[in-house]
Amino acid sequence: MVKLKEALESCQEEYFLPGNSCCAGCGLEIALRWAIKALGPKIALVTPASCLNVVVGLWPKTAPNFPFTNMAFAAGAAGATGMSAAFKAKAYRFPGKGWDEITAITFAGDGGTADIGIQGLSGAAERNSDQIYVCYDNEAYMNTGIQRSSSTPHGAWTSTTTKGKDRFKKNLPAIMAAHDMPYVATCSISEPLDLYDKFKKAKSIKGCRYIHIMAPCCTGWGYNSEDTIEIARLAVKTGSWILYEVENGIMKLSKASRPLLDPSKRTPLMDYLSKQKRFANISEKDLIELQEYLDHTWKRIEADLSCQEQYPK
Ligand SMILES: Cc1ncc(C[n+]2csc(CCOP(=O)(O)OP(=O)(O)O)c2C)c(N)n1
Ligand SMILES: [Mg+2]
């Protein structure tokens, strides 16, 4: 993994500027800032309707100092597919002008990815469209008033699940990995160097790449804005958010999550939940179900890893 000093030295440049209209302690802002530090300025960003869409789009507080396009809610992956094709056509027509160095990247919320954008995303993945698709996951439709998404966890309060969500979080990275795409990774803003490395790697690969970042939202989850990183860290330490990569079908747990294959190494789930108002009224039944779901998810990962060993590609 890259060292902090090295990462900071190689990315002094800021591409996502301060003074924007993010809430204080916004997880999305940290995710995008580090991702673009790794990718560098030769990118074209596509942002479907979301908090990010508002942050990048409101003059005079436009935050990015690189090209970006606001896109319809469902059309993130389709927009980046078109952009990537246009860059290739330009590179063919005007060789040596650097058009082939530009990466098309979508940065979309969990609603824009797991719900309304999944059709275009699945199509792009199946065609192996040359782009990086990023989902920043704040586990609800935050921009429009904290409505539940398919990425909201079981038992969580949202303005449309006032008694706690009955369904479980959709496992979108697993769905994307099932497309057999060149690169799938999960990240957390509490592990910036891991995130940095994964974006660097994604940049070096051609084809459709998918990165899913856990990006807590103090407004929607109900915690103090200065605790964003701690909350993200607890998501990882409790095993609620698992960090891994799937490269050409081969899964590898990342450093922070690897020890958690041993259940005794996981921080108790309550340490994470009790810090967030969205779980303040979680029922005992939901709590038990959430814990069982988490244990089951880890058992499945363990089984997948051992299957990989038994039947190498
Ligand atoms: C077709 C369509 N339906 C609904 C909306 C309204 N809308 C804008 S942003 C948004 C929520 C986006 O949620 P998510 O993708 O999770 O991003 P977040 O706001 O959480 O950052 C919704 C419902 C829209 N712009 N277009
Ligand atoms: Mg969201």
pLDDT reported for residue 188:
98
Average model confidence (pLDDT) across the chain:
95
Q: How do beta strands 43-48 and 68-71 pair?
A: parallel
| pTM (2 d.p.) | 0.97
d(CA 306, CA 20): 46
pLDDT reported for residue 194:
96
pLDDT band at 81 (very low <50, low <70, confident <90, very high): very high
Burial of 93 (0-12, 13-18, 19+ CB in 10 A): exposed
What residues have their beta carbon closer than 5 A to ion ligand 2?
109-110, 138, 142
Phi-psi category of residue 160: left, alpha or beta, with phi > 0 → left and psi -120 to 50 → alpha: alpha
Phi-psi category of residue 107: left, alpha or beta, with phi > 0 → left and psi -120 to 50 → alpha: beta
pLDDT band at 56 (very low <50, low <70, confident <90, very high): confident
In the predicted model, is pLDDT for residue 19 greater than 90? no
pLDDT digits (tens, 9 = 90+) for 130-171: 999 999 999 999 999 999 999 999 999 999 999 999 999 999
Tokens describing residue 134: 């990023």
- Atom 4 (ligand 1) nearest CA: 73
Among candidates 187, 241, 246, 174, which has minimal Cα distance to 213?
A: 187
| Mean pLDDT of all residues in 105-114 | 98
Question: Ligand 1 centroid vs 142 CA: distance in angstroms?
Answer: 8
**Mutation pick for ligand 1 pocket among 46, 50, 107, 136 (CB with most ligand atoms within 8 Å):** 50
In the predicted model, is pLDDT for residue 1 greater than 80? no
pLDDT digits (tens, 9 = 90+) for 262-313: 999 999 999 999 999 999 999 999 999 999 999 999 999 999 999 988 888 7
Q: Which residue has the tokens 């970006």?
A: 68
pLDDT reported for residue 13:
86
Tokens describing residue 40: 């560098």
pLDDT reported for residue 29:
94
Give residues (CB < 6 A) around ligand 1.
49-52, 73, 109-112, 138, 141-144, 149
Residues of the chain above pLDDT 70, percent:
100
In the predicted model, is pLDDT for residue 182 greater than 90? yes
Among candidates 107, 124, 103, which has minimal Cα distance to 181?
A: 124
Q: Which residue has the tokens 């200065």?
A: 226
* 3-state SS, residue 1: coil
- Atom 26 (ligand 1) nearest CA: 73
